[in-house]
Each structure stands twice: as C-alpha cells, then as structure tokens.
Amino acid sequence: MLRNASYVCDLWDKSSMDSVVFSTDVEDIMWLQLQDDSADSIAADEEMGDTLTAEEQKVALASVTSMLSANSIESSLSSVLRHIGRYYKADRTYILSLANDNREVTMLYEWVSEGKHSIRHIMFGVKIQKIPLLTRCLKESRPLLTKTTGKGYGAMKPNVPWHFIVLPLKDHYSIKGFLCVENPHEHTEEIRLLQMLIPHMLKLI
C-alpha cells in the first residue's frame, strides 16, 4: 500500500493542487508501474504478416464505416475504440498523445467496458518516464505485448493473467502517441487489426 501511494504521488507531483485521485482510480492505473522484470513483455513484429481473418475484416469494415459516418473527430475515434474494445473484450481502449518533447502523455480518447469507469481525467500530462511500458514502446518504436499475473498491482488479481497491448502511433518517422488495449480477454497476441486501423486513425489525430 505504501509503495502504491508513493508511486501515485510521484506520478502526479506536478499536477495542480486541486487535483483529486480516488482509490478506484489508483487501483486501475497501477499497471503504469509494471516493470519488465515483473511481466512477460514481447516486442511484436511490425509487419502484419498474415491477412486479416474474416472476423477481423468484419470489425475493420465496421470501424472504418463508423469513422466515415461520424460527425466529429471525437465521435469518429471513439467509435473505433469501441469496436476495438468489444473485439478484444478489453477493460478499456484509449489513445494517448505525446507532448512536451515526448516527455508527457495525455489521454485524448477512451472507450470503457461495462462495469469499469473512465480514467481519462487523471491521464493528463503524466510523465512518460514514470510509465515503463510506454517508455519502452517509444524507445523501440514498435508494438509491445505484455502479460503478468498482476500480483501486487491494485485491481489485478493474483495468478490471473492480465494483458496489455500498446502500439506506437507513427506518422512517417515520428511517434505521435500510443494506441492501448488494456486487459484484453480475447485475441491477446493478435495485433493485425490494430495495425490495419492505425493509418486511418492517424489522419484524425
């Protein structure tokens, strides 16, 4: 508990004095401190490899169609995150943007599954050096798949596999942010769909 409290204080040491972080928020963001030695992290190949499956094609088509029919950028990207989240049966999906010379991340858009709550209000101007998973993804400039038992990390249940997928949002040679799939319960090692959708999403970010 003391380690968690210390980490949260350090994470938001430059936040405004009136910032409020609830205990449920803390539990749901403790994955941020996961280190490589406490999780199985795999740097995925950037090449898509095999073609999309029939199910992936269906989700991709629905995602792109919803993007084109949306009446705003926010509704467009939110609809894509919803399709992604439902396909992966994830807790959350979100887009993080890089700022301040790649030293900070802010959550731009988010989809939340039933029974979960939004963490967007506390993911603003967070120092990326405090988030090992994102730091590594930025450094290696390629997708990262992570699996852990979650022991000692807030809401993660001991001995229950917990997954996290993060892909860099690359515009040519620069990284603008990250596409994250938090705790997917299906397709935990598949990123072809995400790789196919990212170019479409980058046009709106």
Query: Is pLDDT of 185 > 90?
Result: yes
Average pLDDT over residues 121-150: 88
More confident residue, 46 or 24: 46
Q: In what order do the strands lie in the sheet containing 40-43? A: 40-43, 144-148, 162-171, 174-182, 92-99, 104-112, 126-127
Average pLDDT over residues 71-93: 97
How far, in Å, CA of 5 to CA of 26, rounded? 8
Which pLDDT score is estimated for 172?
A: 81
Share of the chain above pLDDT 90, in %: 58
How far, in Å, CA of 52 to CA of 109, rounded? 25
Which pLDDT score is estimated for 205?
A: 86
The one-letter amino acid code at 12 reads W
Which pLDDT score is estimated for 7?
A: 44
Residues 6+ apart with CB under 8 A from 12: 19, 21, 122, 126
How far, in Å, CA of 66 to CA of 127, rounded? 33
